[in-house]
């Protein structure tokens, strides 16, 4: 989970497939971790699709957007 969270801090908008490739983890591992992060409210899905879902670390993005 820590590797995925660190990745999300660098890339606050992610998709599971690219994240899995970049981190050299299985798709299922990243998918499970993303599901947990969504459940606790760290990230949220910004697409409404069954496949190729995109997730965002909104709180972090809001900090970056502040005063811009």
User: Per-residue pLDDT tens for 7-16?
Assistant: 999 999 999 9
Tally of structural domains, the chain: 1
Q: Do β-strands 13-15 and 54-56 pair in parallel, antiparallel, or remain unpaired?
A: antiparallel
Portion of the chain with pLDDT greater than 90, in percent: 76
Structure token digits, residue 32: 């499970």
List the beta bridge partners of residue 54.
15
pLDDT band for 49, please (50, 70, 90 cuts).
confident
Query: Which domain, by its residues, includes 27?
Result: 2-65
User: pLDDT at residue 44 above 80?
Assistant: yes
- The Cα 15–Cα 56 span in angstroms is 9
The number of beta carbons lying within 10 Å of the beta carbon of residue 18 is 13
CATH number where 43 lies = 1.10.10.10
* The model scores a pTM over 0.75: yes
- The Cα 6–Cα 65 span in angstroms is 20
Mean pLDDT over the full length of the chain: 93
């Amino acid at each position: 989970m820590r590797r995925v969270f660190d990745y999300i801090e660098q890339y606050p908008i992610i998709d599971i497939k690219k994240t899995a490739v970049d981190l050299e983890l299985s798709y299922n591992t990243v998918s499970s971790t993303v599901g947990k992060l969504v459940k606790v409210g760290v990230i949220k899905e910004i697409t409404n699709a069954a496949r190729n879902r995109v997730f965002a670390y909104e709180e972090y993005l809001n900090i970056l957007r502040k005063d811009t």
